[in-house]
Amino acid sequence: DAGVTQSPTHLIKTRGQQVTLRCSPKSGHDTVSWYQQALGQGPQFIFQYYEEEERQRGNFPDRFSGHQFPNYSSELNVNALLLGDSALYLCASSLWEGTYGYTFGSGTRLTVV
Amino acid sequence: KQEVTQIPAALSVPEGENLVLNCSFTDSAIYNLQWFRQDPGKGLTSLLLIQSSQREQTSGRLNASLDKSSGRSTLYIAASQPGDSATYLCAANSGYSTLTFGKGTMLLVSP
């Protein structure tokens, strides 16, 4: 049973560019959440998607946007990249509000230069 | 707003020791609490999930307890091994579709 799959694994972008990260949830899960983890910190919640709609959003600017597709997979888009956006981006999937816990992917390491 | 604190920030022990990692949270109205392991530069691996109605969960050499009234959870690792070296994160699920994480405890187990 495949877990959460994220792509790409690593990415290097130039300041001001745009980036798209992708996530396929664990089989049977219908909810996808995105987290940003800076070096030495715990993951910070960006937003969550359920039934193709953004259900909840953390304290991140509008430059961060997302999408969920009918097959429950999701994309995270970041526009006008800043050096401070360099981080590990983690995708997590769950059923509804995580009553049975969250499953995380291996992450995408984004470096902005 | 939920806040999660993990103590200690780092821990170094010799192989074979039993150890306890601590996690505290400010809002006791949680659905559940989840412990994760993270290897350097990698994603999160779920270790244990404790529902709000439970007091503890066990998996192999790992035992996690939950005391909602005091806002505390502990992760007990028995007979530690070098392969246990990693960062351990606890996360509180307070509903509202979010997990709130601590900064983690970095564990080093020496042979």
Which of B48, B99, B100, B106 should we substitute to test contact with A (largest number of A Cβ atoms within 10 Å)? B99
Chain B nearest CA to A38, separation (Å): 10
- CB–CB of A88/A74 below 8 Å? no
C-alpha closest to that of B90 among B25, B39, B35: B35
pLDDT for position A1: 58
pLDDT for position B23: 98
> What is the enclosing helix (H) or strand (E) of B70?
none
pLDDT, tens digit (0-9, with 9 covering 90-100), for A13-60: 999 999 999 999 999 999 999 999 999 999 999 999 999 999 999 999
